[in-house]
Amino acid sequence: MWPKGYGFDAKGDDVRILDAAGARVGTVGGAFKFGGGEVPYLHEGLGFTPDDRAFAEARCPGRFWIASPG
């Protein structure tokens, strides 16, 4: 799970991960450096709405890794 506002864009064969300001933070398949950790489930304390949690859990059952900006 990336922080709110993060996204990606694809140019040719490259898929770049962008931060909330649109700056490149990495490329899919490359190395990343960030904080965060594993959580057993998406509890309310993480700031997810009930709809967001249901969406993520329906598509990605199991444990989650939560990324935080550097």
Model confidence pLDDT, tens digit, residues 3-62: 778 899 998 888 998 988 999 888 888 887 778 888 888 888 888 888 988 988 898 888
Task: Decide the pairing of beta strands 14-18 and 64-68.
Answer: unpaired
User: Is residue 2 situated within a structural domain?
Assistant: no
* Model confidence, pTM: 0.59
Question: What length is written for the chain?
Answer: 70
Cα pseudo-dihedral 16, 17, 19, 22, rounded to 10: 20
How remote is the C-alpha of 24 from its chain's centroid?
Answer: 14
User: Is residue 1 situated within a structural domain?
Assistant: no
User: Is residue 46 situated within a structural domain?
Assistant: yes
User: Is residue 32 situated within a structural domain?
Assistant: yes
| Domain boundaries, position 34 | 7-68
Structural domain total, the chain: 1
Measured CA to CA, the distance from residue 39 to residue 29 in angstroms comes to 23
Measured CA to CA, the distance from residue 17 to residue 60 in angstroms comes to 20
